[in-house]
Structure 1
Amino acid sequence: MKKATAPLAPATTRAEALDRIKTAMVEKKLTQAELADTADCHEKTIQNMLGGRSVRDQTLFDVCMVLGLDFHGLRDAWHGESVAVANGPLELKGNTGGVAPVYMGAYSSAAVDHYIGSYLTLRRAFTLPDTIVAYRTDISWDPDWPSLLFQERDRPDAPYAHRGRLYIPASSSFIHLVSLTKGAMRMVVVSQLDRAGEMRGIITTLNKQRATFIPVATPIVYARRESFEAEALGDITPKNRAYAEYKRLLDETIEQGYARLVI
């Protein structure tokens, strides 16, 4: 009778985490190039990781999904200590727990919980004249990757709805809603949430014009709402009763200096 194999103890150091990754690659017969392709990242990124250098948590997550490893345990071990590499020791990084990564602003969940909720989102249509696009954006805290997460819903062009993270610099009165998919980035820069439950600023993205995509920018408003009326979402034209109020909010975004369009 074959003796059952005892489960591996959790990795506690970056060296042990690296050993788990390399062993899993051998078991699955994956080369560095194949792992990079399957995890949808550059081969140089995999080379840096296997050399013990710092990589993004998203890279660790993608690699763990491919190799069938426990992301949370490996991530904690990876940030638990520095290991020596060819260019010298890496920076010591502790487990951030309920704090967003430094590159996102190092904000804690308690410091930003007032952002959590649902927002009426308004911007002008990129191709339809006298039309305002209105949809819902939900903001929540992601405990698996400590940070605020936003998800767009009820867009008239649902296949293009975005999902991303909030970057909140400590020294700025503006925050960033960033979505990044396979190198394609969309950024929204808006003011921090005010007492009226509003954030105003500008969105920069790509829009399909005939046979190609071109960069576009336009004012955007997020207004906290407890409920949403179906007729107040979608492509809003002057015939819709909500149009005048939506237009006022967008016009004020420029008039009050939340954004400036330079031509």
Structure 2
Amino acid sequence: MKATVSRSARESAVAQIKTAMIEKKLTQAELADASDCHEKTIQNLLGGRSVRDQTLFDVCMVLGLDFDKLKGAWTGANASVAAPPELHGENGGVVAPLYMGAYTRGAVDHYIGSYLTLRSSFSRPGCIVAYRTDVTWDPDWPSLLFQERDRLDAPYSHRGRLYVPASSMFIHLVSLTKGAMRMIVVSQVDRFGEMRGIITTIHKHGAVLVPVATPIVYAKCEEFDGNLGDITSAHPHYARYKKMLEDTMGDGYAKLIEP
């Protein structure tokens, strides 16, 4: 009886992975490359065969799936998986952990929504990269969760959590995969639904990876048609997007200091 339950649960987990692959238009080889594992490992995963937790975690990060939920489905242990007691607090699971700012859902509801995300291209001078970022509330691990979508380089889309210090004008969007951290520091969302700041990450430059930083803007948006992708000077929104990034520096939301 136990084996039947496990098999059924694992089939459900595999179905979630396959659906996410279809949504992101990823092949097995592309998923293996983005997850930094062998294609045979992905074949084992999709076949419902045992894989390491690290592999499952890396795949979840690439596909934007919740690792704890998927692992619970994979092992048939969802019924016993629960958030640590300290996360529930007095408000029944609506208080983020202390290290994330101990914010309540009611205090950050205005962050929830979809944002047009703008930053300069790391490799193409004069080009602006535009994609969508969704911010939601995760009730299982009480905190704000962000997920990047509609990036041209979809396998490298990030998923992480928002850290909201109580005594700061800025918040942090942090993603962490296999020890590699990317952090975005932006102003708290204003009455126009905008957040501005700076992104620091690693970029492949020739044969090596180098740290990079550039201004970034989040602007709440409901319609994204024609607004995403690589925005060059020929695009009708280029001048407006360029000004938003320039104003981020000019208005003091971020500063790049050269030697």
User: If the length of structure 2 is used for normalisation, what is the TM-score?
Assistant: 0.69
Q: Which residue of 2 aligns with 1:134?
A: 130
Q: Which residue of 2 aligns with 1:69?
A: 77
Q: Which residue of 1 aligns with 2:157?
A: 161
Distance 1:217 1:38, change over 3 A: same
Q: 2:247 is matched by which residue type in structure 1?
A: E
Q: Which residue of 1 aligns with 2:176?
A: 180
Q: Among the aligned pairs, what percent are the same residue?
A: 61
Is 1:95 the equivalent of 2:88?
Answer: yes
In structure 1, what is the Cα distance between the partners aligned to 2:88 and 2:130? 39
Q: State the secondary structure of the residue aligned to 2:54.
A: coil
1:223-260 CA-to-partner distances (Å, cap 9, x unmatched) read 00111122x21111111110000000000000000000
Q: State the secondary structure of the residue aligned to 1:40.
A: helix
- The answer as to whether partners of 1:105 and 1:167 remain within 8 angstroms in 2 is yes
Q: Please show how residues 206-221 of structure 1 align to structure 2 within 5 Å.
A: 206-221=202-217
1:127-157 CA-to-partner distances (Å, cap 9, x unmatched) read 1011000111111111111111111111121
Distance 1:170 1:210, change over 3 A: same
Distance 1:183 1:65, change over 3 A: farther
Q: Which residue of 1 aligns with 2:240?
A: 245
In structure 2, what is the Cα distance between the partners aligned to 1:244 and 1:94? 45
Larger Rg: 1
Distance 1:176 1:239, change over 3 A: same
Is 1:39 the equivalent of 2:53?
Answer: yes
Q: State the secondary structure of the residue aligned to 2:212.
A: strand
195-204 or 150-159, which moves further after superposition? 150-159
More helix by share: 2
Q: Which residue of 1 aligns with 2:229?
A: 234
- The answer as to whether partners of 2:87 and 2:96 remain within 8 angstroms in 1 is no
In structure 1, what is the Cα distance between the partners aligned to 2:252 and 2:182? 22
1:102-131 CA-to-partner distances (Å, cap 9, x unmatched) read 111111111111001110000000010110
Q: 1:245 is matched by which residue type in structure 2?
A: R
Q: Please show how residues 97-116 of structure 1 align to structure 2 within 5 Å.
A: 97-116=93-112
Please, what is the CA RMSD of the aligned residues? 2.4
Distance 1:260 1:159, change over 3 A: same
The count of corresponding residues between Structure 1 and Structure 2 is 196
**Deviation, structure 1 residue 182:** 1.2
- The answer as to whether partners of 2:94 and 2:104 remain within 8 angstroms in 1 is yes
Task: Could you tell me which runs of 5 or more consecutive residues in structure 2 were left unpaired when the two chains were aligned.
Answer: 1-50, 56-65
In structure 2, what is the Cα distance between the partners aligned to 1:140 and 1:150? 6
Q: 1:69 is matched by which residue type in structure 2?
A: A
Task: Could you tell me which runs of 5 or more consecutive residues in structure 1 were left unpaired when the two chains were aligned.
Answer: 1-36, 42-57, 80-92
Distance 1:74 1:261, change over 3 A: same
Q: 4+ residue stretches of structure 1 with deviation over 2 A? A: 37-41, 58-71, 73-76, 93-96
- The answer as to whether partners of 2:136 and 2:145 remain within 8 angstroms in 1 is yes
In structure 2, what is the Cα distance between the partners aligned to 1:203 and 1:209? 17
Distance 1:40 1:246, change over 3 A: same
Q: Which residue of 1 aligns with 2:201?
A: 205
In structure 1, what is the Cα distance between the partners aligned to 2:178 and 2:100? 19
User: If the length of structure 1 is used for normalisation, what is the TM-score?
Assistant: 0.68
**Deviation, structure 1 residue 186:** 0.5
- The answer as to whether partners of 2:204 and 2:210 remain within 8 angstroms in 1 is yes
